[in-house]
Amino acid sequence: MFTAYVAVTLLTAGVNAAAAWADFARAGFVLANADELGIPRSFLPLLGWLKAAGAAGLALGLAGVPYVGVAAAAGLTLFFLGAIAVHVRARVLRKMVIPGAFLALAVASLILTYTAYDAAS
């Protein structure tokens, strides 16, 4: 179980760090997606910082700060639930696979993080 926790959490932290970098770099696909969803481009740095904070929090959880890891996984879960809601509101359902995958990783990280620390205590 611990191996699954480490692997899923590392994957979740990595993809969120990469997504944050894409937001900060204003990658073309990020700008196109923001425009299609009706998200102001001025929000991109904030969204990037939220993803980066989640990735950093997951890394801190792996480093032995359990409550930060749980909080980061919970925060990313809420973040991507919001992303799904934005896609539904904008009726851009064909692109929900990406935030859905990020949500699945965040939920898996939350469950595994909680389980790993609950078992250890």
What's the pLDDT tens digit per position in 65-85? 989 999 999 999 999 999 999
Report the pLDDT value the prediction gives residue 35, as an integer from 0 to 100: 97
The predicted structure's pLDDT at residue 120? 67
Neighbours of 31 (CB within 10 A): 15
Q: Is 2 exposed, middle or buried (0-12, 13-18, 19+ CB in 10 A)?
A: exposed
pTM here? 0.94
Neighbours of 19 (CB within 10 A): 21
Q: Which residues of the chain have pLDDT under 50?
A: none
> What is the Cα gyration radius of the chain?
15
* Whole-number pLDDT of residue 117: 77
